[in-house]
Structure 1
């Protein structure tokens, strides 16, 4: 049975949600952790909880390659190297392509795609040296489009294929690469969208079968820890998400569109109206963190 004890893992988006809970689970397995997030206070609190001998917290923006390289270098200096990478940092925007704030759309793409590239680029030399494993967090959204979430869907499809390319490039170096695909998980990202937008809740309500259901964080954490231990190529949470991946051509066909199209004329204008009233195209939490990224203290 593969063991994680004494491995060193770099986790982005580690301050909250899946990143934080996976970090706690990895610490219980004897893993040393390099924790990276832009949200400094909860990140520092998590590192303090886990202990200085277990975790190093580095507040950094994944969109800033020099900052990510500095974070990686600090982690390597403390723990000796990096065996595992969980590229988990991600955000979402709200609103139609016609109405979404262009700067917010760009920020989502920057965090979700460039942030993954910067994470991998900075950590890769050490991961190659240790013949390690990289798990890139994509989404069900890579397979199944959702109106009003174009930046999120496009970016998650992008990082899935980034993982596919990276896997080919580093296999001969002894490095394995996986991609993780989750449906809606009860994380701050989903919680904020539900709180901000009745339109988002209505969208979930009309999605077919289990696609609109929200799952708890626990099974996702278990799946991530298992993937990190076994160097899995694909991770699906819940497991039915695998079917959406296998049937992506059907999901994005005219047949697949039939379930969603009748609801778009009602839900999308409502989303745009609610976004306009909010005065922002993303969660209040992300707006605050964007201010930190623009003007770091």
Structure 2
């Protein structure tokens, strides 16, 4: 018996990256899974890998569609009887400054990352309340420290952190715990695609001091998620040093810190915008293609 034996875990963005690796770890510890993703082929492959219909309900759905999320949750409840744990993990990023980003891409990031989080929780929360369960909202280091050229991602991840804070207040008296996860660079498709598309970001990252430039493996990240979910953590920071930035946030927003931290922005940001112009898109090619299906 483990903390997850017989529990039903719903994970959005479950086909790749952090979502997929968390799914593997929790299935190995006895959980049943409701996996939701817009990308059907890897979702089907993962569901088969993890035991198929006996243990996994795989639903191709867009988190921007509340009706689709409600239908996905209903399928999970019908199959397994309820939802104990929600991991609102689906997320994308866009490229470019406020003046350089494609407005449609900006809107899509906000809709997937923030509105999608609301839809996920709204659909699953009645069952989670019934089972006195746990909700994990996947935010980012970006909620603690903004980065130029990632304005939509920064705004959405700060938004979902505060969404988690408000939700925690709303459901604590009903026996439900709520946490938020905050990660630095994780070796996921989202991060790899961004580095490949934007050499300026890779160069800027190389100039940052350790540990800010280090990329963490998805396996280590998922292991931290597993431990945090098991103890119904209020916050999961990956790596652990990311948590320090939460306490430093007021200092990071002082004029002095912003001036020092922004010394490379006058050269880096035009390079990013020029690269976005050459690409002809503000999203990774994979993310853009998924939105056109």
1:267 aligns with 2:268: yes
Deviations 1:25-53 (A, max 9, x none): 00000000000000011001100111121
Q: What does 1:94-243 correspond to in 2, within 5 Å?
A: 94-243=95-244
The question of whether the paired residues in 1 share the 8 Å contact of 2:187 and 2:218 is answered with yes
Give the equivalent residue in structure 1 for 2:3.
3
SS in 2 for 1:33: strand
* Aligned-partner Cα distance in 1 for 2:212–2:77: 40
The question of whether the paired residues in 2 share the 8 Å contact of 1:207 and 1:259 is answered with no
Q: Aligned in 2, Cα 1:208/1:253: closer, same or farther, shift over 3 Å? A: farther
Deviations 1:110-144 (A, max 9, x none): 00000000000000000000000000000000011
* Aligned-partner Cα distance in 2 for 1:200–1:56: 38
Give the equivalent residue in structure 2 for 1:256.
257
Give the equivalent residue in structure 2 for 1:295.
none
Q: Aligned in 2, Cα 1:189/1:61: closer, same or farther, shift over 3 Å? A: same
Once the two structures are TM-superposed, the CA of residue 2 in structure 1 deviates from its matched residue by 6.6
The question of whether the paired residues in 2 share the 8 Å contact of 1:206 and 1:260 is answered with no
Give the equivalent residue in structure 1 for 2:91.
90
Deviations 1:222-244 (A, max 9, x none): 11111111100011100000100
The question of whether the paired residues in 2 share the 8 Å contact of 1:35 and 1:57 is answered with yes
Deviations 1:55-113 (A, max 9, x none): 11000000000000000000000010000000000000000101100000000000000
Give the equivalent residue in structure 2 for 1:38.
38
Q: Aligned in 2, Cα 1:253/1:206: closer, same or farther, shift over 3 Å? A: farther
Please give the TM-score of this superposition, normalised by the length of structure 2: 0.98
* Aligned-partner Cα distance in 2 for 1:202–1:222: 29
The question of whether the paired residues in 1 share the 8 Å contact of 2:2 and 2:29 is answered with no
The question of whether the paired residues in 2 share the 8 Å contact of 1:145 and 1:252 is answered with no
The question of whether the paired residues in 2 share the 8 Å contact of 1:2 and 1:229 is answered with no
SS in 2 for 1:163: helix
Deviations 1:167-199 (A, max 9, x none): 000001110000000101000110001110111
* Aligned-partner Cα distance in 1 for 2:210–2:127: 43
* Aligned-partner Cα distance in 2 for 1:188–1:256: 31
Deviations 1:4-27 (A, max 9, x none): 111000000001000001000000
SS in 1 for 2:264: helix
Task: Return 5+ residue gaps in structure 2 as ranges.
Answer: none
- What CA RMSD, in Å, does the superposition of the two structures yield over aligned residues? 1.1
The question of whether the paired residues in 2 share the 8 Å contact of 1:2 and 1:230 is answered with no
The question of whether the paired residues in 2 share the 8 Å contact of 1:143 and 1:248 is answered with yes
The question of whether the paired residues in 2 share the 8 Å contact of 1:167 and 1:176 is answered with yes
SS in 2 for 1:209: coil
SS in 1 for 2:59: strand
* Aligned-partner Cα distance in 1 for 2:151–2:208: 16
* Aligned-partner Cα distance in 2 for 1:190–1:134: 24
* Aligned-partner Cα distance in 2 for 1:69–1:203: 42
Give the equivalent residue in structure 1 for 2:277.
276
* Aligned-partner Cα distance in 2 for 1:99–1:76: 43
Once the two structures are TM-superposed, the CA of residue 260 in structure 1 deviates from its matched residue by 2.8
Give the equivalent residue in structure 2 for 1:23.
23
* Aligned-partner Cα distance in 2 for 1:50–1:170: 32
* Aligned-partner Cα distance in 2 for 1:176–1:276: 44
